[in-house]
């Protein structure tokens, strides 16, 4: 079977969750699917060595509307037996045997966290994916429920396949490496850490208030616990990120909150490993890779009890209502004060991450692709 895969999102230099999903899953599929011919489609040349030489690579650049014009033309003139789109939308012209991954429907819950044009496009593209694909892959049960609720997607056409994790991530214990990464990002001492894009859906305003509530608490005990701590919000700027910087100033946290920007993959293990705790108060996540990354690095986690995060974190994190700042402040205080709890969450985290594997994910996806490929027109 000739399997075509839209690999355009896997070439991003600064990958977020969907690009990470695309890259790792395609790599594993190439390793597993050697009984099939695989053709990868790119809108720009991939960097050398990004993918092993186990697939045909078609670079088909186009200035605008690459998916719906250029990839559609490719599907019309040189169609594969099956098309898989792991991180975007199906082209308007596509094989009947097409499979697509839908990562999340957070824009339905929090439309204010996207621009109007983004909202319109997300609603159209997800509805189109849900109706046009022969099979829809969902990252979580939460996304599966949303597809059924918002778009009436037949449940038997949706398959939940959990993404994997970067199995190279492990705790960094070398004091020299930990000190070097702190110095690189100007972190003076112990710190709490968030990693992700800076935009409203990540709920960082509530985190800032929770941190300030402990730092400036009437309780001398809490103030002394938090007085040596910094809060590091690492990630590239997103829509309305200026509001976060403004809030830091309004709360008087300029000397306590660090915003180092995007952190390259090479620095992430040490940055995670050196944190006292990882805090992820997101309002909505289709999956939540940063939670697994922190657990893999031996860092205790506080995260939201919302959307897919309970599926990802299990019992290995302190979970809080993301709308309740007092609850988040209490969880921060509890974790900072209780070394035994931190150790327990680290051990639970090591067990939890074993549930997620890119090889297992690819095996499930390949089975689905082969099943769709056998279906008759």
pLDDT single digits (tens) 153-201: 999 999 999 999 988 899 999 999 999 999 999 999 999 999 998 988 8
DSSP state string for 110-151:
-GGGS-HHHHHHHHHHHHHHHHH-SEEEESSHHHHHHHHHHH
Neighbours of 376 (CB within 10 A): 5
Which candidate, 312, 296, 302, places its Cα nearest to that of 347?
296
- Contact of 361 with 161, CB cutoff 8 Å: yes
Residues 6+ apart with CB under 8 A from 274: 172, 178, 181, 182, 187, 191
Q: In the chain, what percentage of residues exceed pLDDT 90?
A: 85
Predicted pLDDT at 280: 98
CATH classification code of 175-353: 3.40.50.2000
277-317 pLDDT, tens digit each: 999 999 999 899 999 999 999 999 999 999 999 999 999 99
Domains 2-164+357-374 and 175-353 share a fold: yes
Residues 6+ apart with CB under 8 A from 234: 185, 193, 194, 195, 196, 259, 260, 261, 262, 263, 271
- Tokens (6 digits) for 239: 């829509």
pLDDT at 376 over 80: no
Please name the fold of domain 2-164+357-374. Answer: Rossmann fold (3.40.50)
| 3-state SS assignment for residue 281 | coil
Rounded to 5 degrees, φ, ψ at 184 are -60, -35
- Contact of 268 with 257, CB cutoff 8 Å: no
Predicted pLDDT at 241: 84
- Residue with tokens 């690459």, as numbered in its chain: 66
Predicted pLDDT at 267: 96
How buried is 284 (Cβ within 10 angstroms: 0-12 exposed, 13-18 middle, 19+ buried)? buried
Compare 109 and 366 and report the one with higher pLDDT: 366
CA dist list (Å): 368 to 134, 173, 372 = 10, 40, 6
pLDDT at 116 over 70: yes
317-329 pLDDT, tens digit each: 999 999 999 999 9
Residue ranges of the domains in the chain?
2-164+357-374, 175-353
Which candidate, 174, 166, 193, 208, places its Cα nearest to that of 328?
208
- Tokens (6 digits) for 257: 């909150």
Which candidate, 348, 239, 249, places its Cα nearest to that of 295?
348
Which candidate, 1, 6, 155, 112, places its Cα nearest to that of 67?
6
- Tokens (6 digits) for 114: 């996207």
pTM of the model: 0.90
Residues 6+ apart with CB under 8 A from 46: 7, 10, 11, 57, 59
Q: How far, in whole angstroms, is CA 112 from its chain's centroid?
A: 20
Neighbours of 164 (CB within 10 A): 22
Angle between helices 204-215 and 242-250 (to 10 degrees): 20
58-98 pLDDT, tens digit each: 999 999 999 999 999 999 999 999 999 999 899 999 999 99
């Amino acid at each position: 079977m000739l399997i075509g895969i839209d690999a355009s999102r896997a070439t991003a230099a600064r990958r977020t969750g969907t690009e990470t999903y695309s890259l790792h899953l395609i790599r594993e599929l190439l390793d597993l699917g050697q009984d099939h011919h695989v053709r990868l489609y790119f809108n720009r040349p991939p960097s050398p060595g990004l993918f092993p030489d186990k697939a045909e690579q078609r670079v088909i650049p186009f200035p605008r509307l690459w998916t719906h014009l250029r990839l559609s033309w490719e599907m019309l003139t040189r169609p594969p037996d099956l098309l898989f789109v792991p991180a975007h939308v199906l082209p308007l012209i596509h094989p009947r045997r097409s499979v697509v991954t839908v990562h999340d429907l957070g824009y339905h819950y929090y439309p204010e966290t996207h621009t109007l044009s983004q909202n319109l496009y997300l609603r159209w593209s997800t509805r189109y994916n849900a109706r046009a694909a022969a099979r829809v892959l969902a990252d979580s049960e939460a996304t599966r429920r949303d597809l059924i609720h918002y778009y009436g997607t037949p449940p038997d056409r949706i398959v939940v396949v959990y993404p994997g994790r970067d199995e190279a991530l492990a705790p960094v214990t070398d004091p020299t490496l930990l000190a070097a990464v702190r110095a690189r990002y100007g972190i003076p001492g112990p710190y709490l850490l968030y990693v992700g894009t800076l935009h409203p859906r990540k709920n960082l305003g509530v985190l800032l208030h929770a941190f300030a509530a402990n730092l400036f608490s009437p309780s001398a005990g809490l103030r002394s616990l938090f007085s040596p701590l910094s809060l590091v919000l690492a990630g590239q700027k997103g829509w309305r990120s200026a509001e976060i910087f403004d809030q830091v100033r309004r709360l008087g946290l300029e000397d306590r909150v660090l915003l180092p920007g995007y952190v390259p993959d090479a620095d992430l293990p040490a940055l995670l490993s050196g944190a006292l705790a990882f805090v992820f108060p997101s309002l909505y996540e289709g999956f939540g890779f940063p939670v697994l990354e922190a657990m893999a690095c031996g860092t205790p986690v506080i995260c939201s009890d919302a959307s897919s995060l309970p599926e990802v974190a299990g019992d290995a994190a302190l979970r809080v209502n993301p709308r309740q700042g007092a609850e988040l402040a209490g969880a921060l205080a509890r974790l900072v004060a209780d070394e035994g709890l931190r150790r327990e969450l680290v051990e639970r985290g090591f067990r939890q991450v074993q549930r997620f594997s890119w090889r297992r994910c690819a095996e499930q996806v390949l089975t689905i692709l082969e099943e769709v490929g056998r279906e008759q027109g």
